[in-house]
Amino acid sequence: MIKKLTFLLTLMLVVTGISAQQWNLMPMPKSIEAADGAYRIQSEGVTVTLQGNYHQRLPMNAAWFLTRLGKRTTIPMLPKQGKEIVVKVNRAGTVKLGENESYQLKVTPTEVTIEAETDLGAIYAMETLLQLVNRDAQGFYIPAVTIADSPRFPWRGLMIDAGRHFMPVDVIKRNIDAMAAVKLNVLHFHLTEDQGFRIECKTFPKLHQLGSNGEYYTQEQIKEIIAYANLRGIRVMPEFDMPGHTTAWMPGAPEIASAPGPYEIEKRFGVFGATMNPTSEKTYKFLDKFFKEMAALFPDEYMHIGGDENNGEQWNANPAIQKFMKEKGIKDNHQLQAHFNKRLLKILQKHKKKMMGWDEIFQPDLPQSIVIHSWRGRQYMDEAAQKGYQSVLSNGYYIDLSFNARKHYMVDPLPDTTHLTAEQQKRILGGEAPMWAELVTLENVESRIWPRTAAIAERLWSPNPAAPIDDMYRRLMVVSQRLEETGSRHMANREPMMRRLAGTSNIQPLMLLTNAAEPIEGYKRHGSQKYTTYHPLSRFVDVTMPDAPDAIEFSLLLNRFIESKSSDTYVELSKMLTRWEMNHQQFAVIAKENPLLTEVEPLSINLAMLAATTNVMLKQLYYGKMLTKDDAAKMERVIIELAKPVAEMNLPLADDAKRILELVTDSTNTLPSTEE
């Protein structure tokens, strides 16, 4: 209850101290107190003065801060000129789980001061400071404010799957920069899959030579990524999935397989039979050598071994494995995998690493030093915590499934309703947003990660309760633009993709449609057709974003209109609907005799009709006119029909149309329909 009151008080301070439109912070700080006045950024710019003991990452991040500030303001940030921003730190931080990441930030009209125990906290403070920068007719300024901040959870991650589709080094680096901007601190690097073995292995070179189609990271590139992440205060934890999801291992290491093969890299997606042999000493000798090499390459204390979705087909069909199970009293494949995990744990411990894996690895007789990565949900995390195990939540954060930010934002690793004791709650380490790569390539992966992951980052950093959804979306739209300053291409890559589809530089009608449409959610796309690694993923649906930006804007405006009935807001809404309604005429011109847009044209027609229908209902709502039940039922059938998926896309406007319909339906009026 105290935490709730503290956060509500924070929101009150935000509103009373300064216009809410100026607090474009994400994540929201733990404590924020507004003051009078502002720190003006003059034409001579600002400079950052560092004090105390710190790692080389601090001056590099100070330079990164000044570079972005200069680009935003167009003011040259010359060394040792302009006002000072003073940064004081006590010691160099270590990029590890549980390091102190807190900071204090004070802005007055005459000075800006950052104080932190470690340089990691100071780096986060500079990110907050950059988010505070605002503008008015006089120029750029930072509002006077005092902030005391620290993360709610120590584990705040993004998982990037480079196994199913390879992600080049520059893509990984761009995402590291974006992660740092929203205070995420773990890059979970998924490096092996049925579709690819993505890391150079000098001990067993056939692994990457035969298992990657030539797309893999050299060890020098891995070192480069780790060093780059370290400078941003981000851990890099590798995942080597086993004993299942290992098809790509087997062309180069058939001796550790549970069936003779032959094997080749999978081009399809799903759960396959290829599985390591848990009864052969060859397997463990091989893995001992493999992890010795990988442990020396990756400095993080944790290694993720996957452990999920083993279908057991090869184990069931192998007489030698069945004989082993009978002799050892192993009753089923679940127990056999537990046997594998125990042997694997000893190997990891030998090389001074801690084991992390998906829910399936949880066994009560494994030591409490392992970390459970939960895709199943809080129930399983709570059970693990009660038995002394630490865990990280990903259930509800699967950003590859195209759920909107609202749904992710409502997920909490440790809600206030928890029944865990205070000691058990400490075992909930935080969460990770997994970006599985069946349906993304380097061209559109960033548009699937950002900006929604910023909303997840807030839930992992900021105190409870969560901010109102409207405010979250308002800030998220600003943060999306700010993420472009870090180099993220979540918006930039969309236009070239659209020009390719259109075959012309005139893409405005297509962009208007794509900004109003979203990919279908969940696993529905997987079921719509059999995708493979050969699919280029360059269709219209691959350009759309899980939170259609114009649809979000419309929904926020509608919320405001429902509360205020403002004529100005009504006009804005009506203009948006009219633009959507009229857009199909221009879209049809580009789509004519264009086979790439044939599947999309029905969606454009549906948007036009849905917008026209919604505009009629909005006008009725504005003028206080009501529909009879019968008319409303007919209107609802129209909306439902227009809302049906087309070419693996939805129109989120349909949800707002249904909201308006409810508001203009007279629940007491039973007059017959006026429609003939």
Distances in whole angstroms, Cα of residue 166 to Cα of each of 162, 190, 195, 567, 591: 5, 10, 10, 51, 32
Q: Give the CATH H-level superfamily of domain 2-149.
A: Chitobiase/beta-hexosaminidase domain 2-like (3.30.379.10)
Compute the average pLDDT of residues 295-310.
Answer: 96
pLDDT of residue 364: 78
Positions annotated as catalytic residues are 309
Distances in whole angstroms, Cα of residue 341 to Cα of each of 35, 242, 279, 324, 539: 56, 9, 12, 16, 41
Q: With 70 as the cut, is the pLDDT of residue 386 above it?
A: yes
- 155-466 placed in CATH 1.10.287.3510: no
Cα–Cα distance between 150 and 347 in angstroms, integer?
36
Confidence band of 192 (pLDDT split at 50, 70, 90): very high
Compute the average pLDDT of residues 13-34.
Answer: 70
Confidence band of 668 (pLDDT split at 50, 70, 90): low
The H-assigned helical ranges of 40-168 are 57-73, 119-132
- In contact, 122 and 86? CB cutoff 8 Å: no
Confidence band of 80 (pLDDT split at 50, 70, 90): confident
pLDDT of residue 21: 37
pTM of the model: 0.94
Quickly count: other Cβ atoms within 10 Å of residue 420's Cβ: 16
Residue of 668 and 615 predicted with greater confidence: 615
In 3D space, the residue among 508, 528, 503 whose CA is nearest the CA of residue 650 turns out to be 528
Sorted by where each begins, the domain ranges of the chain are 2-149, 155-466, 494-663
Q: What is the pLDDT of residues 460-497, one digit of tens each?
A: 999 999 999 999 999 999 999 999 999 999 999 999 99
Mean residue pLDDT of the chain comes to 94
pLDDT of residue 10: 44
Q: With 60 as the cut, is the pLDDT of residue 82 above it?
A: yes
pLDDT of residue 7: 43
**Which pair of structure tokens corresponds to residue 591?**
């789509």
Q: What is the pLDDT of residues 616-654, one digit of tens each?
A: 999 999 999 999 999 999 999 999 999 999 999 999 999
- What's the per-residue H, E or C state across 522-558? CCHHHHHCCCECCCCCCCHHHCCCCCCHHHHHHHHHH
pLDDT of residue 145: 97
- In contact, 246 and 310? CB cutoff 8 Å: no
Tell me if 2-149 shares its fold with 155-466. Answer: no
**DSSP 8-class letter at 56:** T
Q: What is the pLDDT of residues 501-556, one digit of tens each?
A: 999 999 999 999 999 999 999 999 988 889 999 999 999 999 999 999 999 999 99
> Reduced to 3 states, what is the DSSP secondary structure of residue 34?
strand
**DSSP 8-class letter at 158:** E
pLDDT of residue 460: 98
pLDDT of residue 363: 83
Distances in whole angstroms, Cα of residue 354 to Cα of each of 86, 160, 238, 288, 325: 39, 20, 12, 14, 27
**Of 5-14, 388-397, 495-504, the least confident:** 5-14
Q: With 80 as the cut, is the pLDDT of residue 22 above it?
A: no
Compute the average pLDDT of residues 246-271.
Answer: 96
Q: With 60 as the cut, is the pLDDT of residue 399 above it?
A: yes
Q: What is the pLDDT of residues 422-451, one digit of tens each?
A: 999 999 999 999 999 999 999 999 999 999
pLDDT of residue 79: 87
**Beta-bridge partner residues of 236:** 187
Percentages of the chain per state (helix, strand, coil), in multiples of 5 = 45, 15, 40
pLDDT of residue 527: 84
Burial annotation 501-534 (CB, 10 A radius, 16+ → b, else e): bbeeeebebbbbbbbbbbbbeeeebeeeeebebe
Q: With 80 as the cut, is the pLDDT of residue 416 above it?
A: yes
Confidence band of 23 (pLDDT split at 50, 70, 90): confident
Confidence band of 6 (pLDDT split at 50, 70, 90): very low
